[in-house]
Amino acid sequence: MSRRKRQVRPYLTTRSLQPENQETPIRFLKEERSEFLFFRRNHFPYPDPDIQFPSLTVEGGVHCPRVFHPGELLSMPARSLKVVLECSGNQRTRFYPPVFGEQWEEGAISQGIWSGVPLSVLLERTGWAKEAKEVVFEGMDRGKRTGMDRIPKGPPIPPNGPPTRQKPSKFTKLTCIWRINRH
Helix (H) / strand (E) containing 112: strand 109-118
Walk along the chain (183 residues) and give the pLDDT tens digit of each residue: 556 666 666 788 999 888 899 998 877 776 655 556 888 888 888 887 676 667 889 998 889 999 999 899 999 999 998 888 898 889 999 988 888 888 899 999 888 888 999 988 998 899 988 787 778 877 777 787 776 565 555 555 555 555 555 555 566 778 888 888 766
| Residue 67, pLDDT score | 94
Cβ proximity of 58 and 65 under 8 Å: yes
Terminal CA-to-CA distance of the chain, rounded, Å?
Answer: 41
**Predicted TM-score (pTM) of this structure:** 0.71
CATH topology of domain 13-144+159-180: Sulfite Oxidase; Chain A, domain 2 (3.90.420)
Rounded to whole angstroms, the maximal C-alpha distance in the chain is 74
| Residue 176, pLDDT score | 87
